[in-house]
Amino acid sequence: MAKILAVNAGSSTLKWKLFDMPAEVQLAEGLVDRLGQPQSKVKIKYGDGQKYESDTPIANYQEAVASLMGNIKSLGLVEHLHEIIGVGHRVVAGGEVFAESVVVDDETLLQIQNLRDYAPLHNPVEADYIAVFMKMMPWATEVAVFDTAFHQTMQPENFLYSIPYDYYKKYGARKYGAHGTSVRYVSARAAEMLNKPLEDLRMIVMHLGSGSSITAVKDGQSIDTSMGFTPLAGVTMGTRSGDIDPSLVAYLMKKLDIPDVGQMIHILNNDSGLLGISGLSNDMRDLEAAEDTNPRAKLALDIFVNRVVKYVGSYAALMNGVDALIFTAGIGENGDEVRDKIMRSLGYLGAKIDNDINYKSHGVEADLSTPDSTVKTLLVPTNEELMIVRDVMALS
């Protein structure tokens, strides 16, 4: 038996899961939160409902990885760290360079760093963490699993922007998408639930969370997806604007006296979306609690639902119909009210849900469809980490 780590790194968080492979048994999951702040938090779940927590300050990535390794050993999850034979890293952007998961060497690490412009909030951090793991666990196979890889099956008519073609050839200016690892898992699991071959299905996967995307999956392949050159495009998200007229960027920069486009991109990434519309929160739960008394909170919710419904409709048209609609990720799995609101507008597809089941389903795999639905609606909790460790196992 081999143990493999799945790592999902952010600038202030480090999430991980430890699996026993090839049995695919999850042994533990952990979170380092508020990295670099005076009161960092470490939370670990393991064993039979056991928990470990601490508030030890953690200043940087090296200390975060050292904490992870120390806790895994001290909690008895491994006797020796060398039992961990591989580490799989979620990497958002692989561009056209990476169409599948790869073992990381120095050249690969440099390529990931060079793709920073494709996911400026993600790739630099993920590359730095990979470098730390390579240094601190040199015996382990490091594997990069790219969110964009699954979407490399898109055809040019779906991934190209209507700008001079040379910009694509010279600079890689095209749609790449994101959340591909999640969509890859969810679509395959949905096919199993439906007891039908993945290759025979047309599905629309709604990955709804703080970052949200909609993906059309046909015959097991990504046909189109809502996120674009970076994860900023698409539907309204927690703090991201989603789709916006580029001319509005120039207009606002002039009105706000912003000389640096990077500052404007920061606003679109961090101060927009549900937060920007509501002025209250980027958290769906806060907005739902306030929607009856706060018109802007209700407006933010309405816009979110509106954008999802539009993308679903366009992808159903693109595939000439749909066999299944899939909800996944934080909001998709736990937001029963959001699922209800979205599905009210999709009855024309033949998709109807049983709200008795819907409102009882929180993060648990379920068929939400009514018996007379001609299009299935499923809740499928995502498991990106399982996909990651499977890829590590295959490449080790």
Residue 197's pLDDT band (boundaries 50, 70, 90)?
very high
Q: What is the pTM of this model?
A: 0.91
Tally of CB atoms within 10 A around 157: 8
Residues pairing with 354 in the sheet: none
* Residue ranges at the known binding site: 8, 15, 90, 207-211, 283-285, 330-334, 384
Residue 216's pLDDT band (boundaries 50, 70, 90)?
very high
DSSP secondary-structure letter at 100?
Answer: S
Residue 48's pLDDT band (boundaries 50, 70, 90)?
confident
Maximum CA pair distance of the chain?
61
What percent of the chain has a predicted confidence (pLDDT) above 70? 100
DSSP alpha helix (H) spans, the chain: 61-74, 106-114, 123-136, 156-159, 165-171, 180-194, 246-255, 261-270, 273-278, 284-290, 295-318, 329-334, 336-343, 355-358, 384-395
pLDDT value for 244: 96
pLDDT in tens, 231-247: 899 999 999 999 999 99
363/366 Cα distance (integer angstroms): 9
* Residue ranges at the known binding site for ATP: 15, 207-211, 283-285, 330-334
- 147 noted as active-site residue: yes
Which of 32-36, 201-205, 215-219 shows the lowest per-residue confidence on average (mean pLDDT)? 32-36
C-beta separation of 48 from 57 below 8 A: no
- Domain 2-146 matching CATH 3.30.420.40: the answer reads yes
What Rg value do the Cα atoms of the chain yield, rounded? 21
The structural domains of the chain, with segments of one domain joined by +, span 2-146, 197-379
Query: CATH assignment of 197-379?
Result: 3.30.420.40
Q: Which of 20, 55, 128, 147 is catalytic?
A: 147
Residue 14's pLDDT band (boundaries 50, 70, 90)?
confident
* Residue ranges at the known binding site for Mg(2+): 8, 384
107/98 Cα distance (integer angstroms): 13
Q: What share of the chain is helix, strand, coil (3-state, %, to 5)?
A: 40, 20, 35
pLDDT in tens, 263-300: 999 999 999 999 999 999 999 999 999 999 999 999 99
Q: Which residues have a Cβ under 8 Å from the Cβ of 302 and sit 6 or more positions away?
A: none
pLDDT in tens, 117-175: 888 778 888 999 999 999 999 999 999 999 999 999 999 999 999 999 999 999 999 99
pLDDT in tens, 325-346: 999 999 999 999 999 999 999 9
Please give the average per-residue pLDDT across 109-119, as a whole number: 88
Mean pLDDT of the chain: 93
Residues pairing with 102 in the sheet: 144
226/206 Cα distance (integer angstroms): 10
